[in-house]
Amino acid sequence: MKLKVQSYSGHKADQRPTRFTLHGHTFEVKEQIDSWLGPDHAYFKVRADDSNIYILKHSPQDDEWSLEMFRQGDRE
């Protein structure tokens, strides 16, 4: 599922996602839990402001982002 993602760009482009839009709703990234590189993609495991966990995949060659995994977080 493709996403619209805003990302922080420090010493390189798209260094980490800061917010993303899914089904017309924008989520703020509250915590980057993990990140790793695949052969052609970068992956970011994040907790959003809805307390849910998302894995976002960035494909730098075509500058596309997609949602790879969703897990409902603990609700307080």
**What mean pLDDT value characterizes the chain?**
89
C-beta separation of 39 from 59 below 8 A: no
Distance from C-alpha of 38 to C-alpha of 35, rounded to nearest angstrom? 10
Q: What is the DSSP letter of 39?
A: S
- 59 is in which domain, residue-wise? 2-71
Please check whether residue 57 is in contact with residue 66, taking contact to mean a CB–CB distance below 8 angstroms. yes
Q: How far apart are CA 6 and CA 34, in angstroms?
A: 18
Predicted TM-score of the model (pTM): 0.85
**pLDDT for residue 12:** 59
Query: Does any domain span residue 76?
Result: no
Mean pLDDT value across residues 59-65 = 90
Q: How many domains is the chain built from? A: 1
Which residue's entry shows tokens 């790793």? 36
